[in-house]
């Protein structure tokens, strides 16, 4: 398929955004990408080194909260793919203010600019966490596109607000939009503060893996490449004002089981597990019913959880030079957050 649109990708130096840019330019080399990223602790241009000189790729360092900068860029843009956010629940508990600035105010500035510049389409990347927490051991209870919003952390509240703003701009001003609410992603280039890369890199360093509370909480896990194919399909769907939930699993896997799976693949024992104080307001269970995107757009995950975990572990083993400096530079946060 010929793809000649110019995309403004926000947050393209982060985990999912950089995977998406690499995926998109490989598949659609004629398309142009402008990557606007503030390079916070989570942004890393090393992820994009392989395409940094590609003529159809432009990097702009700056914040989505900078209205003048956003307006200047938006002039040439056909579609916005909005990843930029503060994304870590634990950090939102320590310092919620920046989550409101980036996730709410930043999204508003992008929406306003997209509207006034007649941008064709706005795709917003959101999370299943906006739907709140499901009870444990209720396999029939799942999030879908019609689940009422019930965010419970400063992070999910800020993402819920941004979703509401996107819909408001669609309904009120006619901005063409789509939203994907995806589950927990994992894979290459994920900042090692999140469960899976934290576990892998701690084990590689001979450190214990902190498990919050009793470790029985459940997340749905989506391999990042599968998330990219879902966004691709949504960006090519002939549908506006539409929301899709995206997930990767069909049955519950508690956190403790994930840590045990990682330890087993890495040939280490369960003595590497350390139960630590639980996260305040810790959501118990997320589970996603992704049948709408499957039925309407033919999407389904292509990588099993076991295969995705193995690929991810292998990548972190081969790329110590990528994650080691990130952990070293964020020692204060790691010490404060992951202790007993
Ligand atoms: P990330 O934290 O790895 O990356 C976020 C990126 O946004 C970084 O490059 C950072 O520099 C940039 N950024 C932050 N503030 C900015 C600002 N004010 N202006 C411009 N850029 C800014 O996040 P991620 O895991 O790649 O998540 C991307 C998106 O996907 C987020 O919107 C997140 O809410 C959503 N999401 C993530 C997950 C997940 O499991 N990681 C799951 C569901 C939804
Ligand atoms: P995380 O990767 O932070 O994603 P989210 O909070 O957005 O779901 O956490 C995933 C799950 O793992 C969550 O239930 C919290 C838990 N967790 C731990 O038990 N230990 C850890 O060190 C981390 C980072 C998370």
Q: Per-domain residue ranges for the chain? A: 6-189+220-251+286-302
The pLDDT, as a whole number, for residue 313 is: 98
pLDDT band at 52 (very low <50, low <70, confident <90, very high): very high
Residue 167, C-beta contacts closer than 8 angstroms, at least 6 positions apart: 177, 179, 241
Q: How far is the CA of 219 from the centre of ligand 2 (A)?
A: 9
More confident residue, 211 or 241: 211
The pLDDT, as a whole number, for residue 319 is: 98
Q: What is the mean pLDDT of residues 315-326?
A: 98
Question: What predicted TM-score, i.e. pTM, was given to this entire model?
Answer: 0.98
CB of 260 sitting under 6 A from ligand 1 = no
The pLDDT, as a whole number, for residue 334 is: 85
Q: What is the mean pLDDT of the chain?
A: 97
The pLDDT, as a whole number, for residue 219 is: 98
SS (H, E, C) the chain: CCCCCEEEEECCCCHHHHHHHHHHHHHCCCCEEEEEECCCCCCCHHHHHHHCCCCCEEEEECCCCCHHHHHHHHCCCCEEEECCCCCCHHHHHHCCHHHHHHHHHHHHHHHHHHHHCCCCEEEEEEEHHHHCCECCCCCCCCECCCCCCCCCCHHHHHHHHHHHHHHHHHHHHCCCEEEEEECEEECCCCCCCCHHHHHHHHHHCCCCEEEECCCCCEECEEEHHHHHHHHHHHHHCCCCCEEEEECCCCCCEEHHHHHHHHHHHCCCCHHHEEEECCCCCCCCECCECCHHHHHHHCCCCCCCHHHHHHHHHHHHHHCHHHHHHHHHHCHHHHHHHCCC
Which of 136, 190, 191, 194 to mutate for ligand 2's pocket (most ligand atoms within 8 Å of CB)? 194
CA-89 nearest atom, ligand 2: 6
Q: What is the mean pLDDT of residues 77-90?
A: 98
Q: How far is CA 6 from CA 36, 121, 165, 251, 286, in A?
A: 13, 11, 23, 38, 34
Has residue 338 got a pLDDT over 80?
Answer: no
Catalytic residues, by residue number, are: 128-129, 155
Q: Per residue in 133-162, pLDDT tens?
A: 999 999 999 999 999 999 999 999 999 999
Q: Per residue in 269-300, pLDDT tens?
A: 999 999 999 999 999 999 999 999 999 999 99
CA-88 nearest atom, ligand 1: 2
How far apart are alpha carbons 95 and 293 in whole angstroms? 35
Which of 15, 182, 228 to mutate for ligand 1's pocket (most ligand atoms within 8 Å of CB)? 15
Residues lining ligand 2, judged by CB closer than 6 Å? 89, 184, 194-195, 198, 210-212, 217, 219, 255, 279, 338
The pLDDT, as a whole number, for residue 239 is: 84
Q: How far is CA 57 from CA 24, 231, 243, 273, in A?
A: 11, 19, 28, 43
CATH of 6-189+220-251+286-302, one of 3.40.640.10, 3.40.430.10, 3.40.50.720, 1.10.1040.10: 3.40.50.720
CB of 158 sitting under 6 A from ligand 1 = no
More confident residue, 58 or 337: 58
The pLDDT, as a whole number, for residue 71 is: 98
The pLDDT, as a whole number, for residue 336 is: 80
Q: How far is the CA of 309 from the centre of ligand 2 (A)?
A: 16
Which pair of structure tokens corresponds to residue 148? 């009422």
pLDDT band at 340 (very low <50, low <70, confident <90, very high): low
Q: How far is the CA of 160 from the centre of ligand 1 (A)?
A: 14
């Amino acid at each position: 398929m010929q793809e000649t649109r110019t995309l403004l990708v926000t947050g393209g130096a982060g985990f999912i955004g950089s995977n998406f840019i690499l995926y998109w330019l490989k598949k659609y080399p004629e398309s142009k990408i402008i990557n606007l990223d503030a390079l916070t602790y989570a942004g890393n241009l090393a992820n994009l080194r392989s395409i940094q000189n590609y003529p159809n790729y432009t990097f702009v360092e700056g914040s989505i909260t900078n209205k003048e900068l956003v307006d200047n860029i938006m002039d040439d843009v056909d579609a916005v793919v909005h990843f930029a956010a503060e994304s870590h629940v634990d950090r939102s508990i320590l310092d919620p203010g920046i989550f409101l600035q980036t996730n709410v105010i930043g999204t508003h500035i992008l929406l306003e600019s997209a509207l006034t510049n007649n941008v064709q389409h706005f795709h917003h990347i959101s999370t299943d966490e906006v739907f709140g927490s499901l009870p444990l051991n209720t396999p029939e209870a799942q999030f879908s596109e019609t689940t009422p919003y019930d965010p419970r952390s400063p992070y999910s509240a800020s993402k819920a607000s941004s979703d509401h703003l996107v819909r408001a701009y669609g309904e009120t001003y006619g901005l063409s939009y789509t939203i994907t609410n995806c589950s927990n992603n994992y894979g290459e280039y994920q900042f090692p503060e999140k469960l899976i890369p934290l576990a892998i890199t701690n084990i590689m360093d001979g450190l214990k893996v902190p498990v919050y509370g009793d470790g029985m909480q459940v997340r749905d896990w989506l391999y990042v490449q599968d998330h990219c194919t879902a966004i691709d399909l949504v960006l090519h769907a002939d549908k506006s004002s539409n929301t899709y939930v995206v997930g990767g699993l069909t049955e519950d896997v508690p956190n403790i089981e994930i840590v045990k799976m990682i330890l087993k693949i890495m040939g280490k024992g369960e003595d590497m597990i350390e139960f630590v104080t639980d996260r305040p307001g810790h959501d118990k269970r997320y589970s996603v019913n992704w049948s709408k995107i499957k039925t309407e757009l033919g999407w389904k995950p292509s990588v099993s959880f076991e295969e995705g975990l193995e690929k991810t572990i292998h990548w972190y083993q081969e790329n110590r030079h990528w994650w080691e400096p990130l952990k070293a530079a964020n020692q204060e946060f790691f010490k404060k957050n992951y202790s007993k």
